[in-house]
Amino acid sequence: MRACSIIGNRAIRAGLASCLMLLGCLVTRAASAADCPGHPDAIGTSRTLVVDPREHPRIGTMQYPETLPLADHEVVLTFDDGPLPRNSNKVLQILADQCVKATFFLIGEQARANPEGVRKLVAAGHTIGTHSEHHPLSFEKMPIDKVKEEVDQGIASVSAALSDPSVIAPFFRIPGLLRAPDVEDYLASKGIQTWSADFLADDWRRISSARVADLAIKRLEAKHKGILLLHDIQARTVAALPTILQEMKARGYRIVQVVPATPERPATPTEPEQWQLHPTSETVPIARWPKVPGFVFAETGMLAAPALSDFDVPDGRLLLTAEPFDRVRRAGQHVPWPRQTTLSPQNAAVTLPVPAASLFKIPEKTRAMLQPFPVVARRADQTQSIAQQTKPEAKPHAAIAGARALPKRAAAKPRTRVAHGVHQAKPHRS
């Protein structure tokens, strides 16, 4: 009963959280549609998700077991490597036209070179994370001192572009997703959440914008929700982004913005299973091992251990002796078990018949068949005859002498011709 009540309460809490999440989506979506005048077909931002980086320090199922607690058909857009005015400003305009809020992971040196681009992101209401100072693709093998320098300097460079550095979210994405335990531990020690992704669009590769949009939608359809990683510095991303947003809206997807929790803004209530991309259901019997209930035993007394006197054997020897049983005894005492019994053989006079000598005689015909094959004997005789003929004192045979006297013309080799790749002998014409 207790296990059932636990499962029931958890299911109720999960269902309540889902209902509240759906209600928030509907309310926020109605507000976002009203806040996007002039763009009735805009996908908008369905809701804002508040997360505590210390409770869930690593997210993104491409590398970690947890991801953001999104409902089905919810997507979080993220952009890396900016700001780069040539393309980042175009991405900002597309997002503004669609009333979409995203998360941007900025590089420190890019922020120092384009501080106005950082301020535009904040003014548009997007979430700002960091992406190191120089974007080195060696985080997985970098010394920890160098890691700290890259992380801290990147945050400082982005903060320098803003009048209020507190707007920077404690979100960090490792360049190239080249994770390492030391890097993740350092970020967690500073209360920074490490972001990976749930799927990519490969927009950093040399592919067409149509291919970028196709990969984004295809991989989203395979997962039905998650974090999409894009790059706002790429021209192909600028060209693909409108198609991606239109397809998401046509297929019923919703955009979610993620912000960090603060004392004034607590984290969105969630259940642990919501942080899994596809959590197992408590209602499916084969989804998990059955939970063992915590029984409380009324009587925990130990059973009495048996004594040697409980065994009817001489001197307490529990049949461990190698001596025969009839020797392990005292006056009037015998080993109670096992007992040796004497079995009298029955039909002892019956004996098997002795085989007669005639059984081993071989008939003459069978004996002849077992002799060596006659051909072998003839070959031996021929070999011996040839050996005798080749002795120095022996004269050559007449046939051999005639063969030696043959004219050279008769001994000539026949002509040959090739037909379909096969040598065929042609008779010699005299």
Query: Which CATH number does the domain housing residue 202 bear?
Result: 3.20.20.370
Q: How many CA atoms lie within 13 A of 90 on its CB side?
A: 15
Task: Give the global pTM.
Answer: 0.62
- Write the CA distances from 132 to 161, 177, 234, integer angstroms: 15, 12, 19
Helices (H), 161-206: 181-189
Residue 57, in any domain of the structure: yes
For residue 237, what are the domain limits? 2-266
Question: What is the structure's pLDDT at 423?
Answer: 46
173 in a domain, yes or no? yes
Q: Which amino acid is at 133?
A: E
345: in domain:
no
- Over the Cα atoms of the chain, what is R_g? 47
Residue at 33: amino acid letter: A
Phi then psi dihedrals of residue 301, to 5 deg: -70, 150
Closest CA relative to residue 338, chosen from 351, 354, 326? 326
Rounded mean pLDDT for each run of 10 residues along the chain, 430 residues in total: 43 49 44 68 96 97 96 97 97 97 98 97 98 96 96 98 96 96 97 98 96 98 97 98 97 98 96 86 56 64 71 55 52 58 62 77 70 58 64 47 46 48 45
Alpha-carbon span 274 to 21, nearest angstrom: 11
Is the previous residue joined to 65 through a cis bond, with omega within 30 degrees of 0? no
Whether residue 177 is contained in a domain is answered as yes
Helix (H) or strand (E) holding 294: none
Question: What does the angle CA 267 – CA 271 – CA 272 come to, to the nearest 5 degrees?
Answer: 105
Number of domains observed in the structure of the chain: 1
108 within some domain: yes
- pLDDT computed for residue 308 by the predictor: 64
Residue 23 is predicted with a pLDDT of 45
Residue 348 lies in a domain: no
Residue 48 lies in a domain: yes
Please list the alpha-helical segments (H only) found in 36-114.
85-97, 108-113
Q: How far apart are CA 49 and CA 225, in angstroms?
A: 14
Q: Does a structural domain hold residue 112?
A: yes
Question: How far apart, in Å, are the Cα atoms of 302 and each of 295, 298, 299, 308?
Answer: 18, 13, 9, 19
What is the structure's pLDDT at 364? 73
Closest CA to 77 of 55, 56, 58, 92: 92
**CB neighbours of 39 closer than 8 A, spacing ≥ 6?**
97, 98, 99
For helices 181-189 and 144-160, give the axis angle rounded to 10 degrees: 50
